[in-house]
Amino acid sequence: MIGGDLKVARRGLMFILSSPSGAGKTTLAERLLEKDDEMVLSVSATTRQRRPGEAHGKDYYFVSEEEFTRMRDEGEFLEWANVFGHYYGTPRSLVEDVLRQGKDVLFDIDWQGAQQLDEVAGEDVVKVFILPPSREELERRLRQRAQDPEDVVQRRMAKADAEMSHWAEYDYVIVNYDLDESEELLRSILFAERLKRRRQIGLAAIVKEMIGEG
Ligand X SMILES: Nc1ncnc2c1ncn2[C@@H]1O[C@H](COP(=O)(O)OP(=O)(O)OP(=O)(O)O)[C@@H](O)[C@H]1O
Query: Which contiguous run of DSSP H or E holds residue 90?
Result: strand 86-91
Determine which residue in the list 13, 14, 15, 22 makes contact with ligand X, applying CB under 6 A: 22
- The residue at minimum Cβ distance from ligand LQESDW3C is 113
Least distance from ligand LQESDW3C to the Cβ atom of residue 48, Å? 5
Query: Which contiguous run of DSSP H or E holds residue 107?
Result: strand 104-108
Q: Which long-range contacts (CB under 8 A, 24 or more apart) does 67-76 make?
A: 71/45
Binding site for ligand LQESDW3C (CB under 6 A): 21, 44, 48, 79, 81, 83, 88-90, 108-110, 112-113
Q: Is 32 in the site for ligand X (CB under 6 A)?
A: no
Query: 3-state DSSP call for residue 174?
Result: strand
Least distance from ligand X to the Cβ atom of residue 206, Å? 39
| Beta bridge partner(s), residue 152 | none
Q: How far apart are CA 133 and CA 27, in angstroms?
A: 16
Establish whether 3 is an annotated binding residue. Answer: no
CA 31 to chain centre: 13
Least distance from ligand X to the Cβ atom of residue 62, Å? 14
Partner interacting with residue 113 (select from ligand LQESDW3C, ligand X, none; CB below 5-8 Å by kind)? ligand LQESDW3C
127-146 residues in contact with ligand X (CB under 6 A) are 141, 144-145
Q: Is 179 in the site for ligand X (CB under 6 A)?
A: yes
- In degrees to the nearest 10, what's the CA dihedral of 203, 37, 14, 176? 120
Q: How many CB atoms lie under 10 A from the CB of residue 188?
A: 11
- Residues near ligand X (CB under 6 A) are 19, 21-27, 141, 144-145, 176, 178-179
